[in-house]
Structure 1
Amino acid sequence: MCGTHPSAQMLSFAKISFRSLLLSAAMSVVLVAPALAGVDCVMESKAAPAELIPACSATIDQASIPSSDRAAALLVRADANARTSGGLTQALRDIDRAIALDGKNAKAWRLRGDLLREAGGDLNRAAADLSKAIELNPQDSESYELRGVVYTNQRRLDRALADYDQAIKLKPDNAQAWSDRGVTYYLGGDNENAIRDLSEALRLDPNRPRSYTNRGAAYKKLGQLERSVADDGEAIRLDPKVPEYYDNRGLSLAAMGEYDKAIADYDQALRLAPRPNFFANRGDSYHLKGELGAALSDYEAALKLEPNFAQTYNNRAVLYKKMGERKKALADYETALRLDPGNDNAAAGRRAMIADIVKFGGEPLRPLAANSGKGPSFDCATAKREVEKVICADPQLGVLDRQIAETYERVLKSAGSRSAGDLRRTQRDFLATRNTSFGRAGYDLRKVMQDRLQRLNAMDS
């Protein structure tokens, strides 16, 4: 960014995440093998995986049991393995064996396709497995829905929408299909339909935190920030341990100019998970609030965790420019462009910084004392407010500040007692507003100072 508030590009969309793997949906297998230690090898068993896996193995290992029943037992064991840490590979092996034993088992093809997607495997193979499941059972709503998820992950959005349409046609109360279709509309830029589908998903199942946060993302795109904040709040209420929900709400609050509230949300997100984008987003809010030191610290933390974070280099360059660190700003703009050659803001910032270095030189600006006659009206060596540090770092702003102070003193000396009281009040208001508003989106410090000088000059004429 250049010429706009630094977090313009950091107001990222909600982190879209489809549902977790649900291997046990709509399956209830009853096997003829005897139970092991009182544990039945059935899909919806409440037994723990550590108990269920050996129970199913007893069935699987009996060659006398029909192949279709052994295949069913393999699917139950696959489900149990998938629910254990590091068990996805074994789960896939079990489903492969189940398909080899019973190639017409539509559920096995569906489960393998979904597992491949969940494990980050070959999405084309996952789509092929789910297509086979649909071929074997064209009335299975979940297979269409899961293939839609794969197509969405591949950004084949039209195909995904067609599959969700069919899933909902077969099962109108499938809240997950409504939610997934809403996400796909969102990714395609159709936020109105995204909100409609996610609202229907929430009507069918109000306890869906991700549907709330995804709908909040669509509201955010439409500029309906209060609704976005409310939806993220619901997501947090339902599941307060997900850091992305706090980050998402923080982004909306920052867009509303509620920087302190946004920072509080980023604080909580970081307590749950110290991720680079959380540091970067909090840094943007500090930046906009005018707390440049805190912003710089957060940008550096983000880049330490993610050295290829192009937008953070861009935003740190803006901060360095405010601080008068021209060489550092230029270096950050160039790094941002190297990582993201299409970043127009970084390209514009780089051009402007090269022009500044040609005009003013590349060395950092040295603070000027108040009595030098060349800088601001106050002593930069003791400046504590961020707005004052920025004025010290910019020679033009420093001249403006001195002109305002000198003109104010001149007008004050010639004013009557009543006028002098009003003048003191307006000057206090100007300084207080400058100190509290600096850094907010849309606040133009240079223009505000120029307007104040113009008003004082009018009184001085």
Structure 2
Amino acid sequence: MMTAPARDARLRLLRGLRLCVRPGQGALCSAGRYMAVAALCVLCYGNSLRGELVHDDVWAIVNNPDVRAGASARSIFSNDFWGKRMADNTSHKSYRPLCVLSFRLNVWLGGMTPLYFHLVNLLLHASVCCLLLVTCERCVFSQPRPAFVTALLFAVHPVHTEAVSGIVGRADVLACLLFLLSFLCYVRSIGEAQSPGLLPPTHSPLCLSASLLLGSGAMLVKETGVTVFGVCVLYDALVVCRGPLLSVVLLEGQPPPQFQVSNMFSSKFALKHGYCILVSHGLTRLCSLVGRWGSAVLGLSTLLLVLLFSWKTVAQNQVWLSREALFRSGIHTLPHNAKVHYNFANFLKDTGRHQEAIRHYNIALRLYPRHASALNNLGTLTSDPKEAERFYRQALDINAQHNRALFNLGNLLKTRGEDAEAEVLLKNSIRFGPQFSDAYSSLASLFAEQKRFAEAKAVYLKGMEHCPDSSDLHNNYGVFLVDTGEGALAAAHYHQAVRLKPEHYVAMVNLGRLLRSTNDNQQAELWYKRALTVARSVDVLSPLGALYYNTGRYEEALQVYREAALLQPLSTDIRLALAQVLVISGRSSEAELMTRNVLVREPGCIECYRLLSAVCSKRGNHSQALEFLDQALQQETSDLSVRAELLFSRGNQLREMNRLEQAFQSYKEAVQLKPDQSQAWMNMGGIQHIKGDYAAARRYYKKALALTPGSRLLMENLAKLDRLERRSTSAGGG
């Protein structure tokens, strides 16, 4: 037997009346419902704001060149969701430019900070829930209560956790938002059909245009957004035109078709629209059948369901807070899945937890013994080269085209000097993985070491053609150009590396070094400081300290080197650089103590003896300075230039002690090892000048002048010789 409310509803529909919202109990109640839905969204997903960028977020945002600041906006509309060209064979073919554009706006407004990405997702979800409430009130239910229940269930349903807590899920949430807006605009744009079966007139062309625009936007956020146009057509045919199918469905007591057309939107996020509407509709019908107490029980059950969903959603958000939590959840759910263990092992390897990574790689291999990638990665984690080679070769036995194993084995053989096989392996790595940029860099490096510069250059150019978004390739090619004397071309590639990867501090430091070599110290300092904003590491601090030292800014150099020494307290180079600045800035006692401490750890440290000699010389203790230089010369070194500099310094100390003959001999040994020491030749000339051997003095001065043309001091010394010789000739003639 049909109840009165159901009978009334059927009669209204049979008279041709559209389903529409009835007046509520006031604007305040209506606003309260929307605030309650939004607040519930915030309560359920508030803990997701602490989350990192996890899973596919890394590839869609962090590693996506289209998302980075400075990238061409045109590329967003020509590449796929992951930043690959749509025409590329490796492209995913998922075309979602508006979603990528939203990521780009996020980066522009708040950088790569995960908080802002999660905040946008949360706001979008709250907006979708409120729009669903609007849609249900206007187009689905005649009472606000079932619409409110639908929105509540949708807001807290735990199936949405991935879409809201995972940043990549924004494609679903944003497409759903535009879907609902497009549908609402379409509903507002049309009037009522004059009679059943006739098409309705267009009431508002502006709203119809907005519907088309928003529907197209939904499609450009996620491909399934195009289904909004199908939903509008069905709504038009079955509801507005009041076709016979609608009457049959309603007479049988089933929910209206528009309850279910949203299920056409084949996304897990939007799919729950229809389910939530059906549940709310079922509860409404049950309430009309079971009476007052039954309605109370159903209401309490609904409240408990909302609370249960809320608790489950809050708990599920914890899984998406970090990559580790996500991987551990996967292992807990699928403990016998080799791929899950392999992925977790990759994460552990990337975070430096190598022993745990090895354990999970071994589990993956136990579950699937032919896992070539697990064998390859085990090879990268072992410290034994023979064991590493065994793992790589096992991986290649399983998959002879495994480009990573080919690359790793090639690099291993290259370090052992087996260049011929290494070259073959690296070429095959490129052949089977043409988008693997590291293989190009490694092969080019091998050619450069063999002085095959033309081939190395060709490999770099080919690599940049196949991997145009590789910042490392551009940086490495820049280094190659500097090393081969084409430094003028290197700057463009360093700049490109930074454009592709704004946090590429190595390219910034290399650019700073290049600018220093051209005496553009101001620009070099700016690039070093920019690199420091990315990474306050010794690799950045050391060249900046050297710049300050060489430009006479000793206090700034001291500050930079002290910070570097705190980061690497056992680094000999940093300690000695700091000691050198301390000496030049008049803090020789601290410099001496620091140098002696280094000498205790490294008794054969030549630079330590030289620095201690400089400290003693600064104090005027030339005999002690000479002793330290003699100790330095007793140490073994294969670098002849170092020995030549020590002999030159020894000559200086002997000259200060007025032991000119020994000083001359020390300078002579220095130029025999390093003939381009202009200062040594000049000092030899000075000693002969003092001794009165003007011919020998002139010979040495001219050799020094040939090395440093235009030296005013040498020209003055030669002029003095001329005057002395003229004077001597005049005296002899008189």
TM-score scaled by length of structure 2 = 0.39
The corresponding residue for 1:316 is 612
Contact 2:509/2:531, CA 8 A, preserved across alignment: yes
Displacement of 1:115 in angstroms is 5.2
> Cα distance 1:237–1:304, how it changes in 2: closer, same or farther (>3 A)?
farther
The superposition leaves residues 318-356 of structure 1 with CA deviations (integer Å, 9 ceiling, x where unpaired) of: 332222222322233334445343234322221232334
| 2:409 equivalent among 112, 129, 137 | 112
Paired amino acid for 1:187: D
For residues 316 and 169 of structure 1, the distance between their equivalents in structure 2, rounded to whole angstroms, comes to 53
| 1:353 equivalent among 646, 650, 653 | 653
Displacement of 1:154 in angstroms is 6.4
> Cα distance 1:91–1:301, how it changes in 2: closer, same or farther (>3 A)?
same
Residues 1:53 and 2:351 aligned together: no
Residues 1:271 and 2:271 aligned together: no
The corresponding residue for 1:334 is 630
Q: Secondary structure at the match of 1:257?
A: coil
The superposition leaves residues 241-271 of structure 1 with CA deviations (integer Å, 9 ceiling, x where unpaired) of: x223222211111122111111111111111
For residues 480 and 588 of structure 2, the distance between their equivalents in structure 1, rounded to whole angstroms, comes to 38
Residues 1:252 and 2:552 aligned together: no
Task: Kindly report which structure 2 residues correspond to 1:54-453, keeping only aligned pairs within 5 A, or say none.
Answer: 54-60=363-369, 70=370, 73-79=371-377, 82=380, 84=381, 86=383, 90-114=387-411, 121-122=416-417, 124=419, 125-134=421-430, 141-152=437-448, 158-240=454-536, 242-274=537-569, 275-338=571-634, 339=637, 340-343=639-642, 344-359=644-659
The superposition leaves residues 297-319 of structure 1 with CA deviations (integer Å, 9 ceiling, x where unpaired) of: 23333434444443443343233
Displacement of 1:206 in angstroms is 0.7
Contact 1:247/1:278, CA 8 A, preserved across alignment: yes
Displacement of 1:189 in angstroms is 4.5
Paired amino acid for 2:548: L
Q: Secondary structure at the match of 1:342?
A: helix
The corresponding residue for 1:442 is none
Percent identity of equivalent pairs: 18
Paired amino acid for 2:476: D
Structure 1, unaligned stretches of length 5 or more? 1-25, 29-34, 61-69, 363-461
> Cα distance 1:155–1:247, how it changes in 2: closer, same or farther (>3 A)?
farther
Q: Is the deviation greater in 323-332 or in 307-316? A: 307-316
Q: Secondary structure at the match of 2:563?
A: helix
> Cα distance 1:96–1:244, how it changes in 2: closer, same or farther (>3 A)?
same
Name whichever structure is richer in helix by fraction. Answer: 2
The superposition leaves residues 136-192 of structure 1 with CA deviations (integer Å, 9 ceiling, x where unpaired) of: 667765422221234456676554333212211222222111011112223334433
Displacement of 1:286 in angstroms is 1.4
For residues 109 and 294 of structure 1, the distance between their equivalents in structure 2, rounded to whole angstroms, comes to 52
For residues 418 and 612 of structure 2, the distance between their equivalents in structure 1, rounded to whole angstroms, comes to 37
> Cα distance 1:152–1:272, how it changes in 2: closer, same or farther (>3 A)?
farther
The superposition leaves residues 211-265 of structure 1 with CA deviations (integer Å, 9 ceiling, x where unpaired) of: 212222222222222222222222222122x223222211111122111111111
For residues 603 and 522 of structure 2, the distance between their equivalents in structure 1, rounded to whole angstroms, comes to 34
Relative contact order, higher structure (CA 8 A, sep 6+)? 1
> Cα distance 1:342–1:80, how it changes in 2: closer, same or farther (>3 A)?
closer
Contact 2:372/2:396, CA 8 A, preserved across alignment: no
For residues 288 and 135 of structure 1, the distance between their equivalents in structure 2, rounded to whole angstroms, comes to 55
For residues 184 and 307 of structure 1, the distance between their equivalents in structure 2, rounded to whole angstroms, comes to 36
Paired amino acid for 2:368: T
Displacement of 1:130 in angstroms is 0.8
Contact 1:178/1:200, CA 8 A, preserved across alignment: yes
Paired amino acid for 2:629: Y
For residues 327 and 292 of structure 1, the distance between their equivalents in structure 2, rounded to whole angstroms, comes to 17
Contact 1:250/1:263, CA 8 A, preserved across alignment: yes
Displacement of 1:122 in angstroms is 4.0
Q: Secondary structure at the match of 1:207?
A: coil
> Cα distance 1:166–1:210, how it changes in 2: closer, same or farther (>3 A)?
same
For residues 345 and 281 of structure 1, the distance between their equivalents in structure 2, rounded to whole angstroms, comes to 17
Contact 1:247/1:269, CA 8 A, preserved across alignment: yes
Paired amino acid for 2:392: I
| 1:40 equivalent among 317, 331, 339 | 339
For residues 95 and 208 of structure 1, the distance between their equivalents in structure 2, rounded to whole angstroms, comes to 30
Contact 1:41/1:76, CA 8 A, preserved across alignment: no
Contact 1:74/1:94, CA 8 A, preserved across alignment: no
Structure 2, unaligned stretches of length 5 or more? 1-83, 85-89, 91-333, 349-356, 663-734
Displacement of 1:98 in angstroms is 2.0
For residues 135 and 330 of structure 1, the distance between their equivalents in structure 2, rounded to whole angstroms, comes to 60
Displacement of 1:96 in angstroms is 0.9
- Radius of gyration: which is bigger? 2
For residues 157 and 306 of structure 1, the distance between their equivalents in structure 2, rounded to whole angstroms, comes to 38
Q: Secondary structure at the match of 1:262?
A: helix
Q: Secondary structure at the match of 1:210?
A: helix
Q: How many residues are matched?
A: 315
Contact 2:528/2:544, CA 8 A, preserved across alignment: yes
For residues 336 and 123 of structure 1, the distance between their equivalents in structure 2, rounded to whole angstroms, comes to 37
Displacement of 1:277 in angstroms is 0.6
For residues 572 and 579 of structure 2, the distance between their equivalents in structure 1, rounded to whole angstroms, comes to 10
Contact 1:116/1:126, CA 8 A, preserved across alignment: yes
The superposition leaves residues 94-128 of structure 1 with CA deviations (integer Å, 9 ceiling, x where unpaired) of: 211122344344443123224556xx544625444
Q: Is the deviation greater in 317-326 or in 155-164? A: 155-164
Q: Secondary structure at the match of 1:173?
A: coil
> Cα distance 1:266–1:155, how it changes in 2: closer, same or farther (>3 A)?
farther
> Cα distance 1:138–1:85, how it changes in 2: closer, same or farther (>3 A)?
closer
Displacement of 1:281 in angstroms is 0.7
For residues 57 and 44 of structure 1, the distance between their equivalents in structure 2, rounded to whole angstroms, comes to 15
Q: Secondary structure at the match of 2:502?
A: coil
Contact 1:164/1:177, CA 8 A, preserved across alignment: yes
Contact 1:75/1:95, CA 8 A, preserved across alignment: no
> Cα distance 1:114–1:168, how it changes in 2: closer, same or farther (>3 A)?
same
The superposition leaves residues 390-441 of structure 1 with CA deviations (integer Å, 9 ceiling, x where unpaired) of: xxxxxxxxxxxxxxxxxxxxxxxxxxxxxxxxxxxxxxxxxxxxxxxxxxxx
- Give the CA RMSD over aligned residues: 3.5
The corresponding residue for 1:22 is none
